[in-house]
Amino acid sequence: MADYHDSEPLVDQGEVEIPRTRSSIIHRVGHFIFVSAVVTPSVLLFWRGSFSLLEQYLPGEESARPWLALAIGSPVVLLAGLLQHHMTRLGRWIRGKSYFLYRLFVGAYFYVVAFAVVAQWVALWDLPVYLIPQMDNAKGQGIRAVLAFVIMVFLRTVGQGRACPVDASFDCDPEPFRIPLRFRTDRAERCSGKFVLDVVFSLFVIDLITVQNWAGTWSLLDYAVLPDDPCLSSWVSLVVGYTLHLLVTAIQFPLYTASKRLRGERLDVYKRLAIEDTFGLVVNFAVNNVWRGLWGLYDCYILPDQPWESFWLTHGVGAAVCFLVCAGSSMGRPAVTVDGEAGDGTGLLLNVFTGMAGLHEKQCQPLIGAYPG
C-alpha cells in the first residue's frame, strides 16, 4: 500500500526484543491503540475524501476520469522517485536556513505526494473494470485478487499490501524524501538508466499489481458480505479487520522467533519466505477489511446526502489530524519493501512495532523544539 515502511528496520536488528516488562508492554499497547484509534481513522478520512473527489468530480465522461486521475497522479509519484536525491539536497539547504520552513516544506511534500498516490490508485483501481467489463462480478474480482497475489509472491512484494493500522510512519524521519525501490538503486547518487527503470517498475508496475490485489479483495467482499446492507457490511468488515489485527499482532513475535532460526541454508530462505508470505496474506486481508469498514461507515454516517461537502470535509479533517499528530507521512508515502530481505526474521514484525523506535525523544526532539513555547 501507499504507506512508507523502509526495508531497513528503525530498530537495531540485533537488539529486537519481545516486550515482556510491564513498562514495555504498556508502551506498545498505548502505541497500538493510538495508531488504531487515531492515525488509521484519520488516514482513511483523507483517502476516502481524496479518492471520492477524484473518482466522481473530475471533469469529463465517467470512463475518462481514471485516465485523467492517472495523468494527475503518476507523473508526481514518478518525479518524487526520480528527484529524491535532489529533494534531499534541497531539504538540507532549507533546513540550514530555517527549521520551521523545512518542516513546512516536508509537510507540503507529504501532502502533494500522498494526493498523487491516491490519484494513481483511483486510475489503477477503476481502469481494469472499464477495459475488461467482464471482470465486474464476484468471480472476476476473485480472479483479479488471486492473480495479483501470485505475482506479488513471485516479485517478493507481498508486504506492499500493508498499510495502517499495521504500518504507520511518523514525521521524524531524517530522510523524508528517500523512496526505497525494488532493486535498491535509490542508494545511487546519479540518475542512471537502471535507476530510472527501477523507479518506473517500483512506483508504477508494482503499485499496479498491489492495487489489483486490493481492489479484487475489496470488491469480492462487497459481493460476499451483506451486499444489500452496506452499512452493516461495513461494521462486519471493521470487526473482522480489527480482530485479525489483534491476532497478527500477537502471533508476529512467535513467528519472528521461528523465522530467526531459519538462517544460512537455501532451503531455510524458502521456508522463511513461505512464513512471511502466508503471514502477509493474513495481514493484508486484515488491513483491507479495516479500510473497507471505516470507508463504508464514513459513507453511511458523514453527510450521506451531501457527498461534495462530505468528501471535502473528510479530506481536510483527515489531513489536518495526520499532521497534528506528526503522522503526515502515513497518508501515502511511496516505497517498496522486499519480502525476506531482512535475513533475521524482522520482516515479520509489523511496522507499528518496529516503527516505535522512530518515536524516540532524541529523534523527535528537533520537531518539538522547532516551535516557540
E strand or H helix at 188: none
List own/partner pairs for 30-35 with CB under 8 A and 24 or more apart: 31/352, 31/356, 31/359, 32/249, 32/352, 34/325, 35/164, 35/165, 35/168, 35/352
**pLDDT given at position 90:** 96
Is residue 27's pLDDT more than 80? no
**Backbone dihedral region for residue 156 (phi beyond 0: left; psi -120 to 50: alpha; all else: beta):** left
Residue carrying C-alpha cell 452499512: 231
> pTM for the full model?
0.89
Q: Is the dihedral of CA 366, 164, 284, 132 positive or negative?
A: negative
CB atoms within 10 A of CB 102: 20
Residues 88-124 have pLDDT tens digits of 999 999 999 999 999 999 999 999 999 999 999 999 9
For the residues 279-293, what does the mean pLDDT come to? 97
Please indicate whether residue 225 or residue 11 has the higher confidence score (pLDDT). 225
For the residues 182-191, what does the mean pLDDT come to? 76
**pLDDT given at position 222:** 97
**Measured between alpha carbons, how far is 244 from 246 in angstroms, rounded to an integer?**
5
C-alpha cell of residue 97: 536556513
Residues 292-343 have pLDDT tens digits of 999 999 999 999 999 999 999 999 999 999 999 999 999 999 999 998 887 7
**Measured between alpha carbons, how far is 46 from 2 in angstroms, rounded to an integer?**
13
**Measured between alpha carbons, how far is 318 from 45 in angstroms, rounded to an integer?**
5
Binning pLDDT at 50, 70 and 90, where does residue 188 land?
A: low
| Nearby residues of 199 by Cβ (< 8 Å), 6 or more positions away | 78, 81, 82, 181
CB distance 198 to 215 below 8 Å: no
CB distance 354 to 346 below 8 Å: yes
| Nearby residues of 41 by Cβ (< 8 Å), 6 or more positions away | 294
**Measured between alpha carbons, how far is 348 from 159 in angstroms, rounded to an integer?**
10
Say whether the peptide bond before residue 165 is cis (omega within 30 degrees of 0): yes
